[in-house]
Amino acid sequence: MKKYYRCETCGRIVEIIKDGSGDLLCHGKPMVPITEKEVNMYLQGIEDLAEIPSIPPKGFKNIDEILDFAIKVEEDSYSFYKFWEEKVERPHMKKVFASFANEELKHKKKIQEIKEGKKLKLTETGERRIPDLKIGDYLVDVRPSKAMDFQDALIVAMKREKAAFEFYEALEEMAESPEMKEIFRFLAEEEAKHKLKLESIYDEYIYTEF
């Protein structure tokens, strides 16, 4: 299995060809391990991570295919937010993106446990509807790139969360059992919460500047 490390000071990425002893240093500091997905993200940009994959036209053959697809969505969401956690400079915003990345890992773990046949206890929301400020719905689309500023990053993230919400809503419609419908409804509501938080941040930090 390939191993990669990145310098947090200059951004240099190295691939380990042969294991050795001691720390791998750059700019006098130990380099940090990163995944191959993160390597591709740093080298090629994040355009592919900003989009939620579309459900295949022919649908899915079984529930495992649905869950594998959902796991991929959560993995890409995690990588997207980790990228922006490192890019933004404000400590408060680093915490925001870090918390979102952590939530996507929780979603992935939950989906993996479902695939393993574990009975999960989901948070009930009843008939309570997650508020939708619709700020991101009416903003012009932004093409993601490493040159994006903070405002553009928020717009891309809001639209991503909206797409993720619609993705899980569609899976809820496709699910045959009440249990699977509940699971996808729960995940859809989680994405709706993310979108609400992003829109609230946008309203506080961007609109107040005008």
Domain at 150, CATH number: 1.20.1260.10
User: What confidence score (pLDDT) does residue 138 get?
Assistant: 61
Query: For 32-90, how does the pLDDT look when each residue is reduced to its tens digit (9 = 90+)?
Result: 888 877 776 665 555 555 566 666 656 677 778 888 888 888 888 888 888 878 877 77
3-class SS string, 98-163:
HHHHHHHHHHHHHHHHHHCCCCCCCCCCCCCCCCCCCCHHHCCCCCCCCCCCHHHHHHHHHHHHHH
User: What confidence score (pLDDT) does residue 124 get?
Assistant: 47
Do 12 and 73 lie in a common domain? no
Do 11 and 63 lie in a common domain? no
Do 65 and 9 lie in a common domain? no
Do 168 and 64 lie in a common domain? yes
User: What confidence score (pLDDT) does residue 126 get?
Assistant: 44
Angle among Cα 25, 30, 35 to the nearest 5 degrees reads 105
User: What confidence score (pLDDT) does residue 136 get?
Assistant: 65
pTM value is 0.63
Please tell me the total count of domains within the chain: 2
Do 54 and 29 lie in a common domain? no
User: What confidence score (pLDDT) does residue 42 get?
Assistant: 61
Q: Tokens for 97, please give them.
A: 């993106």
Beta bridge partner(s), residue 29: 26
Region 97-123: mean pLDDT is: 81
Do 87 and 127 lie in a common domain? yes
DSSP states of 40-91: HHHHH-SGGGSSPPPPPTT--SSHHHHHHHHHHHHHHHHHHHHHHHHH---H
Q: Is 70 exceeded by the pLDDT of residue 208? A: no
User: What confidence score (pLDDT) does residue 125 get?
Assistant: 44
User: What confidence score (pLDDT) does residue 61 get?
Assistant: 77
* Domain limits for position 162: 35-209
Query: For 123-143, how does the pLDDT look when each residue is reduced to its tens digit (9 = 90+)?
Result: 544 444 666 656 666 665 666
DSSP states of 159-204: HHHHHHHHHHHHHHHH--SHHHHHHHHHHHHHHHHHHHHHHHHHHH
Do 146 and 178 lie in a common domain? yes
Domain at 8, CATH number: 2.20.28
Do 30 and 44 lie in a common domain? no
Query: For 147-179, how does the pLDDT look when each residue is reduced to its tens digit (9 = 90+)?
Result: 667 787 788 788 888 888 888 888 888 887 887
User: What confidence score (pLDDT) does residue 142 get?
Assistant: 64
